[in-house]
Amino acid sequence: MRYTTVIKEMNVLFSGQVMVVSKDAIVIQAIPIGGGMLPQNYTETKLKKIGGVERAVPMLFVTPVGIGGIIEPVPVNFSMGIPVESWRLVLGPTPLRGNVGHFPKNESSREVVVGTSLADQYNWIVGKEIMVNHHRLNVTGILDTKLALLTRCIVMPLELAQSVYNYPESVNILTVKPLDGYSQRDLADLIEQNITYVNALTEEERNDMIQPVLAQVETWNLGIQSVIFIMSLILVMTVTIMSISERRRDFATLDAIGAPLSYVFRLVILETALIGVLGSILGIAFGSLAALVLASLYTNIPLAQFFPSIFEIVPPLYMLEIFLAVVAVCCVGGIIPAINATRMRIAEALRAEY
């Protein structure tokens, strides 16, 4: 869920712009997560010569980050190098927490701003010196934002990022804003015609690239859910049949004293529905907790930090869906046992021992 949120946010952050990346880069929503670097000055110069470009901002996007010199096994932290003069163009009006601190002032400073989640996890405060990829950096502000991408991000001047991550004079992404009158598509075509070693991706293309991945994730989820539901259905049915079989004398007694078939049927369905209600409440509670624990283990982010965002990890609508689906499965699973209960031979069942 967090990854899909980050993926969706990427396009929010760079809305209306063409993203230029190396042809051999591995990209998600145009954010390079591996592969090709671009020569900064050469690419920038070539871009500026193309008509239709209002501005081009070179950036270095790095993951994993290497906080404290440790390279995390799973990329949950990000680092962005942005030219100081373009800072606001990329981050927009993002304020600093408590209005304390300042954004880095020049390219050669050791100053960085960090996301809230990172700051809370590592107890970083404004003025603190931190180690990133074996470099000492100073935290000058904490970004006050709810964007999942930025909460786990270290943002620094581009030159500093190139130095920290050892990519001198190199970038892996340029955001290009089209001049008025130019569509993203037209500009992207122009860029790709003039600079042969890059891909220029419009917002639409970026979405198109990620849709199959998201669709595949959805399909997988649906597949797993279907298997679980079918197994649950069989399990509920089997357990209820066994339970009714053990209580066949009780059901026969109900029959003998004249309980209508609809009453017996409803009794069984109600029982399985109640199991569904209790089971789904417990399941959602423990399942959500398990999701948090797994997310914590998977990302090295402390569990406590996930609690406030539990409804982002397991959204309430998803919880409601699970609740309704489990109750429905239990009710459907109770149908055959309920029919069995109504078809019991009273005379034989009355002789049954517990």
Residues 1 and 332: their CA atoms lie apart, in Å, by 30
Are 85 and 73 in contact, with CB atoms under 8 Å apart? no
Please, what is the minimum distance in Å from the beta carbon of residue 347 to other proteins? 4
Q: Report the residue from 28, 96, 239, 259 that binds other proteins according to the rule CB under 8 A.
A: 259
Please, what is the minimum distance in Å from the beta carbon of residue 9 to other proteins? 53
Provide the mask over 260-299, with x wherever binding to other proteins is found by CB under 8 A and - wherever it is not: xx-x------------------------------------
Q: Determine, following the binding rule CB under 8 A, whether residue 317 of this chain makes contact with other proteins.
A: no
Instruction: Could you list the beta-strand ranges (E) of 126-241.
Output: 129-132, 135-143, 153-157, 170-171, 173-178, 198-201
Please, what is the minimum distance in Å from the beta carbon of residue 345 to other proteins? 8
Choose between 231 and 261: whose C-beta lies nearer to other proteins.
261
HEC secondary structure over 235-282: HHHHHHHHHHHHCHHHHHHHHHCCCCHHHHHHHHHHHHHHHHHHHHHH
Q: Determine, following the binding rule CB under 8 A, whether residue 37 of this chain makes contact with other proteins.
A: no
Please, what is the minimum distance in Å from the beta carbon of residue 322 to other proteins? 29
Number of residues that bind other proteins (CB under 8 A): 18
Alpha helices by DSSP H, listed for 54-147, are 87-91, 116-122
Are 130 and 67 in contact, with CB atoms under 8 Å apart? yes
Choose between 76 and 341: whose C-beta lies nearer to other proteins.
341
Choose between 257 and 317: whose C-beta lies nearer to other proteins.
257
Choose between 70 and 261: whose C-beta lies nearer to other proteins.
261
Q: Determine, following the binding rule CB under 8 A, whether residue 146 of this chain makes contact with other proteins.
A: no
Q: Determine, following the binding rule CB under 8 A, whether residue 255 of this chain makes contact with other proteins.
A: yes
Provide the mask over 78-117, with x wherever binding to other proteins is found by CB under 8 A and - wherever it is not: ----------------------------------------
Site for other proteins in 231-250 (CB under 8 A): 249-250
Tell me the three state secondary structure of residue 109.
coil
Q: Determine, following the binding rule CB under 8 A, whether residue 48 of this chain makes contact with other proteins.
A: no
Tell me the three state secondary structure of residue 26.
strand
All residues at 6 or more sequence positions from 333 whose CB lies less than 8 Å from its CB, including other chains? 232, 233, 234, 235, 236, 237, 240, 272
Pick the stretch among 44-52, 234-242, 259-267, 323-331 that binds other proteins (CB under 8 A): 259-267
Q: How far is CA 225 from CA 1, 233, 329, in A?
A: 16, 12, 12
Please, what is the minimum distance in Å from the beta carbon of residue 337 to other proteins? 17
Are 154 and 65 in contact, with CB atoms under 8 Å apart? yes
Burial class (CB in 10 A: 0-12, 13-18, 19+), 41: exposed
Choose between 256 and 285: whose C-beta lies nearer to other proteins.
256
Choose between 109 and 243: whose C-beta lies nearer to other proteins.
243
Interaction site with other proteins (CB under 8 A) = 249-250, 252-261, 263, 345-347, 350-351
